[in-house]
Structure 1
Amino acid sequence: MQSTNDLHIKGLVYSSNKRVKAVNEAFGGLRSHIIYEVDTRYLEDGDEIKGSFYLVTNGGEREIPYSLRIQTENGGGGTDLPKDSQGLCKPCKEERGNSAAPL
């Protein structure tokens, strides 16, 4: 957020969703950034967190809506990790022409 009339803005920011929390609730200055943390525990790929930041400032009150979608690194499809030592050796055998010894 930025002051458009070169006056310092000071105030407090709150989130309506308990999973989203501003790191610093108080802010002030000509320019301010809302830095926030998101609690994604127990959420799965595709879940959505909706809410708003509410700013109470010396220049008035403001609502900033947000919508966050959870995206896991692998897209929620699970991992393709080998199940046993034979599975670990399979890529080696394919790459070396079956010359790798099993574990």
Structure 2
Amino acid sequence: MKKPKRSLIMNNSIERLREGIQELINTHSNASKIYIIRSLFDLLDDAIKNRVSIDILVNYLNENHVNISKHYLKNALLRIRREKGITKKNHLKYRYRKTTKSQAINRL
């Protein structure tokens, strides 16, 4: 009976190691805080637009094992907005213009 080639044995060993390490990653890894916030950005942003306070969001995240502070969440959201090109002016639904005195009188 022939012995299997050494390269075949090594490939099988490497594949088993890959699977084992992937399993370790799946069971023991913790996603970074910023990764979690990036993943939830749209929902967090919608919640803030709908007047859910930052304090409530921070409490909810902390209860679900994402230990962050209010300051950290605010900074992370600001950083993500900058990366996406969302400024405060672009972010608002309506822009209000300042009216001059003459414009106000003309409206009457």
Q: What TM bracket, shorter-length normalisation?
A: under 0.3
Question: Hey, which of these two has a bigger chunk of helix by percent?
Answer: 2
Q: Who wins on radius of gyration, i.e. which is larger?
A: 2
The TM-score, its normalising length taken from structure 2, stands at: 0.24
Question: Hey, which of these two has a bigger chunk of strand by percent?
Answer: 1
